[in-house]
């Protein structure tokens, strides 16, 4: 059984009137369990958009069973205006601008739960990883 821990730390000296320092972590586990770790990943990978851009299916919901899945995405662009639109189940989740990243749970139980990306420019690179049961 794999043990994977996700941690996020947020610090700011000028966002609030007081200094902000927040850190939290979680051990990633299978659905309905607090002891069975997530055991699968395709590894850390990168997708490079070459030529004319358009929407891509990054993860197809039909390819995975229902359960506890976690997704990591990062826009490796250094051009501030370049972004990836992230869409799940035909709903826009948001945009990842240059250097932005996200980590979120995903229920992959139907073809309608695809994770799609739409880059704003050519030659952009998205780093990604799926952790699953």
Residue-by-residue DSSP string for 76-97: ---STT-EEEEEETTEEEEEEE
Give the per-residue pLDDT at 74. 97
Burial 80-101 (b: 16+ CB within 10 A, else e): eebbbebbbeeeeeeebeeeee
Q: Which residue, 92, 105, 133, is CA-closest to 6?
A: 105
List, for the chain, all residue ranges whose pLDDT scores fall below the cut of 50: none
Domain range for 108: 40-132
Give the per-residue pLDDT at 112. 78
The answer to whether residue 28 is domain-embedded is no
Token reading at 22 = 């927040």
Give the per-residue pLDDT at 52. 64
Which pTM value belongs to this model? 0.87
Give the per-residue pLDDT at 63. 86
Question: What is the CATH number for 94?
Answer: 2.60.120.10
Query: Number of structural domains, the chain?
Result: 1
Give the per-residue pLDDT at 1. 63
Task: Give yes or no for a contact between 61 and 113, defined as CB atoms under 8 angstroms apart.
Answer: yes
The answer to whether residue 32 is domain-embedded is no
Task: Give yes or no for a contact between 96 and 102, defined as CB atoms under 8 angstroms apart.
Answer: yes
The answer to whether residue 27 is domain-embedded is no
The answer to whether residue 63 is domain-embedded is yes
Is the alpha carbon torsion for 23, 130, 98, 83 positive or negative?
Answer: negative
């Amino acid at each position: 059984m794999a043990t994977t821990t996700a941690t996020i730390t947020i610090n700011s000296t000028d966002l609030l009137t007081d200094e902000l320092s927040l850190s939290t972590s979680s051990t990633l586990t299978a659905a309905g369990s607090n002891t069975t770790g997530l055991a699968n990943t395709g590894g850390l990978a990168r997708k490079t958009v070459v030529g004319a851009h358009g929407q891509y299916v990054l993860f197809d919901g039909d390819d995975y069973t229902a359960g506890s899945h976690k997704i990591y995405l990062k826009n490796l662009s250094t051009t501030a205006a370049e972004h990836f639109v992230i869409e799940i189940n035909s709903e826009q989740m948001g945009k990842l601008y240059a250097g932005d990243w996200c980590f979120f749970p995903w229920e992959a139980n139907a073809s309608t739960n695809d994770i799609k990306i739409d880059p704003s420019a050519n030659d952009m690179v998205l780093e990604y990883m799926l952790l699953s049961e």
